[in-house]
Structure 1
């Protein structure tokens, strides 16, 4: 397997794909992995009222562009690893973290579901 080509996911054997994909992403750039786990820091501005909102692209600094580009790179790595059905599942997600979380909930369940499964196995 080439490091530039992520493992392909067709909806089967998610845990195996997830383990491989984690390693591939970390090998490419550990900052991508941090972004997927912790979420991106999308550029924001504070309004006069004190509310935060997304910063318009016309106001981006070079640092803002780097943050947005890192999220796009992480999304690209995930998208390149998915078949059409899985792509359709995550295509509406704005961030790589949302994509990863959606796949995880779809194939592993929420934390409550995971805990319930573990409790059933332990008993």
Structure 2
């Protein structure tokens, strides 16, 4: 597969904008590359243990996804995730960093709901 197009860069437009563009970009490169950002079961194996074509393909998709994600980050965000090995870990950490965890989101919704009810 040949890369064509411009990798979305996380910048002043904000994380939600980047996230949507990066998802579209990764899917356009290959569904397997996007799947690498969503797989909770993928584990990086030593080269000697990559014994089947499916496992090799998963590792290649993960490597491409990691490369695209790293290429779309500025220095500070890169520093935050550079130690991670899988696309899923990177995607999840960025999501938690910018969007918060499910618990934080639920608390924010409750807070905003209360503020709205008190305002009306």
TM score, norm. by length of structure 1? 0.77
Cα distance in structure 2, aligned partners of 1:121 and 1:96: 33
4+ residue runs over 6 A deviation? none
Change (3 A) 1:95 1:9: same
How many residue pairs get matched? 111
1:11–1:86 CA contact under 8 A, matched in 2:
no
Match among 83, 98, 121 for residue 112 of structure 2? 121
Look up the match of 1:60.
Answer: 50
Look up the match of 2:96.
Answer: 105
1:9–1:81 CA contact under 8 A, matched in 2:
yes
Which structure's residues are more often helix, by fraction?
2
Q: CA RMSD in A?
A: 2.2
Change (3 A) 1:3 1:57: closer
Look up the match of 2:36.
Answer: 35
After TM superposition, give the deviation of residue 11 of structure 1 in Å.
6.7
After TM superposition, give the deviation of residue 60 of structure 1 in Å.
2.3
Which structure's residues are more often strand, by fraction?
1
CA offsets 1:40-94 (integer angstroms, 9 cap, x no match): 6336xxxxxxxxxx4x422422422222111101101101101111111110001
- Partner SS state of residue 6, structure 2: coil
User: Is the deviation greater in 31-40 or in 102-111?
Assistant: 31-40
TM score, norm. by length of structure 2? 0.79
Q: Which runs of 5+ in 2 are unaligned?
A: 115-120
Q: Within 5 Å, give how 1:7-18 maps onto structure 2.
A: 7-10=8-11, 13-18=14-19
